[in-house]
Structure 1
């Protein structure tokens, strides 16, 4: 896995907000890959204008905790770093774009 594409809620839809390719510890990355393999989808979940060659789409069922420095002018995360998956019961603070 090179990076995760990230989405955030905007009303009732999901929008692409960038990717995260750092912060993965080896054991956590293997576990994450196992979880993602169960969620593979043939269709994109969000509108994505980037390179599509190696993208594996998954159903949006996992909540990642990501640390970042700022938002860019085009609503993407800057300097994102993966911290781990959140428990599904701990999603009250999931960021929603206005």
Structure 2
């Protein structure tokens, strides 16, 4: 969705209550660092969501109870340093999540 959007850094307001995948949503959005208030209760795939989002460092209050893939989620997001309170009971893939 924001794939390689190197200059986007504005508040984002999407209705995400029916979204099931956020795969690569902010992939290589290098300067993105806006707060996110997403309804993620139905999301199953967060793979590479913040991959190489170099500047991203926002608190995430995501409902992750249905997520099965978090692999590469923060890979390359070198500034990200917030606590995560994710429910990972259903996660099957978490490889290289913080690589």
Asked if Structure 1 and Structure 2 have the same fold, meaning a TM-score greater than 0.5 normalized by the shorter chain, the answer is no
Normalised by the size of structure 1, how large is the TM-score?
0.23
| Structure whose alpha-carbon radius of gyration is higher | 1
Q: Which has the higher strand share?
A: 1
Normalised by the size of structure 2, how large is the TM-score?
0.23
